[in-house]
Amino acid sequence: MKDTKFHGFVSAINARDISHGSLLLSFGLSPRITPNQQAGIAFHWIAEYIFMMHTRIDNNCISSYESKINRENLIRPDNTILVNKELRKLTKYARLIPSNIKFIHKDYYLIHSSKRSQYKYGRGYQNKDSILLLVPLNIKNSKKTPLKNIKILSVYDFCDFFGFSDEKRREFIHFAWLALGCVRDTVDRAEKLSELEQKADDYKNELKTNPKINFSN
C-alpha cells in the first residue's frame, strides 16, 4: 500500500462511508489528504454513477458498484457488470467478449505506471471467468498487458467499449480531465476540485439513495 501512496486504502474506506479524517481522528492523528487523493475519490463516485446509469438504467444490464466479488477478498472493484445478452447488445466490442467470461470488473485511477498497474493486478479481481478492466485517466491509448484477463483502457476506449451515449461520454471525459487537472495544475486547482467534489457529492447521494441503482453490498 505504501508503494501506491495509500490510494487504494483511501478509496476503500471512502466507499464504505468512513471518512479519511474521522478514521485518523479515532487514532488521535490529524487528518491530512492530498489534492490527488481528493480528486481520485471524487472522480470514483462520478465514474461509478455514470456507469450505473448507462448500464443499469439506460440499457437494463446487471451492474453494481463497490460490490464484494467473493467472501475472501474484502477489496471491491469500482464497478462490476454481468456478461449477458443485454451487455453484448451494447457494442461490437462487447459482442467479442469470450463466452466463458461471466463478469467484467472495473477499476479507475488517476495516473498509470507499471508499479500502479501491478498493484491492481494483485487484487485478484480477474480469474478464468472474469476480466479486469483498468481505466487510468492519463493515457490517450489503451495498453497491452502480459495477463490474458486484464485490459488497460483509455477513457475514450472505455466509453466506446460500453457504448456510452454522446452525452455520457462527454461527461465522463470532462470529469476525467478535471480530475487530472487537479493533479497537474496548481493555479486553478481549488476551482477544479470544487466542481469535481460538488458533482461527486450529488452522484454519491444518488448512488446511496436511489433504489434502482443502489445494488452495492
Kindly report the CA angle at 60 between 55 and 65, in degrees rounded to 5? 45
Q: What is the pLDDT of residue 104?
A: 98
pLDDT over 90 (residue 199): yes
Sign of the alpha-carbon dihedral angle for 34, 39, 29, 78: negative
- The residue assigned the cell 500500500 is 1
What rounded mean pLDDT belongs to the chain? Answer: 87
195 confidence band (pLDDT: 50, 70, 90)? very high
Residue 152 has pLDDT above 50, yes or no: yes
Q: What is the pLDDT of residue 185?
A: 81
Confidence of residue 2 (pLDDT cuts 50, 70, 90): very low
Between 19 and 44, the higher pLDDT residue: 44
3-state secondary structure of 64: strand
SS3 category, 33: coil
Cell of 115: 508499479
Amino acid at 101: I
Average pLDDT for 102-125: 91
Rounded to an integer, what distance in angstroms lies between the CA atom of residue 155 and that of residue 163? 12
Q: Where are the beta strands (DSSP E) in the chain?
A: 63-65, 79-82, 103-109, 130-136, 150-152
Residue from 33, 53, 70 nearest 207 by CA: 53
| Residue 10 scores a pLDDT above 90 | no
What local confidence, expressed as pLDDT, does residue 216 receive? 52
Percent of the chain with pLDDT over 70: 82
pLDDT at 48: 98
Domain ranges of the chain: 35-209
**Residue listed under C-alpha cell 460490490:** 67
Beta-carbon contacts of residue 128 (< 8 Å; ≥ 6 apart) = 100, 149
- Find the angle CA(37)-CA(63)-CA(87) to the nearest 5 degrees: 120
Q: What is the pLDDT of residue 28?
A: 56
pLDDT tier for residue 1 given thresholds of 50, 70 and 90? very low
Of the pLDDT bands very low, low, confident and very high (cuts 50, 70, 90), residue 32 is confident
Angle between helices 166-184 and 189-209 (to 10 degrees): 130
What pLDDT is recorded for position 124? 83
If one compares 22 and 149, the residue with the highest pLDDT of the two is: 149
